[in-house]
Chain A
Amino acid sequence: MPDDAPLTWEEVARTYGRKIYNFAYRLTGNAHDAADLTQEVLLRVRKGLAGYQPGSFEGWLWRITRNAFLDDVRRRTRKPTAALPDELDRLSSLASPAPDQVLAKVRLGEDIQAALLDLPYDFREAVVLCDIVGLSYDEISATVSAPIGTVRSRIHRGRKMLKERLQ
C-alpha cells in the first residue's frame, strides 16, 4: 500500500466504510454490531484525521478499527447481563437475510461464517484481515502489533482449523 496523504473524511467513508463493515461483520457475525462499529470507527477517523501524520494510511485506519472493535468487546464483557459477541452473533447470523442467494449458497456461507466464529480471536482476526480485508502480512503485523512470524503462524493455524471444520 502506498504511503499517502490523508484523504478527506468523506473519501475515507466512501472508500473504506464497506470494508470496515465487512471486517466487523466477519469477526462478529452480527449485522447490528458491525454497523455500530463502522459508525464508531468513522467517528474516530473523523476526529483523528486532523492529527494524521503521513505514513501508512491503511495501517493507521485498521489500527483504529481494531481498537474500536476491542473496546466494544471489552465494554460488552464488563456488563454481566449483556451477551458476549459470539452468542449474539450466532443468534443474529441465523436471521441474516440473503434473499438473492440460493439456499445451498446461503448454507455454505453460514457454515463458513460459523467456522470463522469458532476460531480463537487472534486467528480469526488474522484470517479476516488477510482474506476479507486484503491486507498484506506486513500490514497485518502493523495493525495487530505482532511480529510478522506471529501473523504468518496465526493465518496458517486459522486456515488449518477452518479446513477441519468445513471438510
Chain B
Amino acid sequence: MMHPSELLSALLDGELSERERTQVNEHLATCSACEDELNGLHFARAAVRSLPLLELPAGSRPAEEELGDVVHMTRRPPVWIAAAAAAILALFVGMATILAPPTTLEVRLDQLSDQYGARASLEPAMTPRTPMPVLERVAGPIE
C-alpha cells in the first residue's frame, strides 16, 4: 500500500470503512513515517478539541418580543433612516390626498349618477343611450 496520508485523519475520526481501516493499520505497523504523521494529526486534532466550549453571551438569542417583528430584529437601521422614511411616507400620503381621484370608483359613479340624473330630469335629451349600471342602482326618485 502507498502511504495512506489522507486516510490517516479519517482513521482518527472513525470515518474509514472496515476494509480501509485494516489496510491502513497494516501499513502503519511497518511505516514509521506514517506513524509519525498520524501522531502529528492526533496532536492537531486534540489541540482543536481542547478549546473550551464558550458560553453564548447574554443577549445573543433574539428576545421573544423582538421575534414578533422580524424586520425590527435583523439589523436595526439608524434612527435618522427611520425619520427620513417617515418623512417621505408622509409626503407621499399628502400628495396622494391632494392629487388622487376620489377614493373609489363607486363613489364617483354615484356622484355622476346624481349629476346626470338631475340634468336628465331637466334635459331629457342628455339621458345616456345605454343607462349606466350605477343609474340602475339609484333608480329611485331623483332629488
Contact = CB atoms under 8 A, between A and B. Distances in A.
A18 interface: yes
Contact of A18 (B5, B10, B55): B55
B61 to A, nearest CB: 5
B40 A21 contact: no
A127 B48 contact: yes
Interface in A38-52: 38-40, 42-43, 46-47
Contacts of A130: 13
Contacts of A132: 48-49, 51
A17 B60 contact: yes
Contacts of B10: 137, 152, 155-156
**Is the interface on chain A under 10, 10 to 19, 20 to 34, or 35 or more residues?**
35 or more
A163 interface: yes
A17 B73 CA distance: 17
A63 interface: no
B13 A155 contact: yes
Interface in A118-137: 127-128, 130-132, 136-137
A137 B62 CA distance: 31
The 7 closest A-B pairs by CB, nearest first: A156-B9, A162-B44, A159-B44, A163-B44, A131-B48, A35-B60, A163-B40
A21 B15 contact: no
Nearest to A134: B49
Given A46-B67, A127-B48, A132-B51, A159 B56 contact: no
Given A39-B60, A112-B47, A156 B41 contact: yes
B13 A43 contact: no
Contact of B54 (A22, A108, A153): A22
A43 B73 contact: yes
Contacts of A17: 56, 60-61
A33 to B, nearest CB: 11
Contacts of A131: 45, 48-49
23 contacts: A9-B67, A17-B61, A35-B56, A35-B59, A42-B62, A43-B73, A43-B74, A46-B67, A47-B70, A101-B52, A109-B51, A116-B48, A131-B45, A132-B49, A132-B51, A152-B7, A156-B6, A159-B40, A159-B41, A159-B45, A160-B44, A163-B44, A167-B40
